Amino acid sequence: AKGPRTIADVMNADETRALGLPVILEAVIILVGNTHMQPCLPAAGDAARAERTAVFNTAILERALNSNDLLFLASPLTGGGFQLNRFDQMFLLAQQRKHKDPAAFVCDRLIARNEGMVRDGKALRTAEENLAYLRERYADFQRRLPILQQLGIA
């Protein structure tokens, strides 16, 4: 929750110092296995990786305007992919473009492509229904945004 930390940082933290290395390593293995924690690359090279992954990720985000076929963005910190659904990709693109209302941005793009949305197995018929649904999805996205920021994706 506090952002990137080394194993040494965790071992020396007041909250975990008494646990010892075997317990901390076991916790790290479990957290990584459950995708609650990601190992990161060395800090040297972060800037260069950030430039390259930003170009790659922007291409993926642009593609999300027309397609649902690419669901992973690259993290310059981990060197790995992070799964993000199409709506979240489009919300992230809207934020990059500094749109005041990302949900409306996504709604407008989907309506322009004549793409309807479904909620609980029922087609949403009006623009107002679609926008209300996207506002809920955007609220969920905002809760995940700090993770994207910590991974260097957003």
Tens of pLDDT, residue by residue over 80-100, are 999 999 999 999 999 999 999
CA dist., res. 115 & res. 22, Å (int):
52
Confidence of residue 42 (pLDDT cuts 50, 70, 90): confident
* Cβ-contact 49, 58 below 8 angstroms: no
Comparing 105 with 38, the larger pLDDT belongs to: 105
Instruction: Report the chain's mean pLDDT, rounded to a whole number.
Output: 92
Q: Is the pLDDT higher at 55 or at 43?
A: 55
Tell how far CA 10 is from the center of its chain: 24
**How far is residue 88's CA from residue 24's CA, in Å, rounded to a whole number?**
33
User: How does residue 2 score in pLDDT terms, banded at 50, 70 and 90?
Assistant: confident
The token duo for 4 is: 């990137």
State phi, psi for 123 to the nearest 5 degrees.
Answer: -65, 135
Q: Is residue 137 a contact partner of residue 113, using CB atoms and an 8 Å limit?
A: no
pLDDT average, residue stretch 24-46: 89
Please give the single-letter amino acid code of residue 62: E
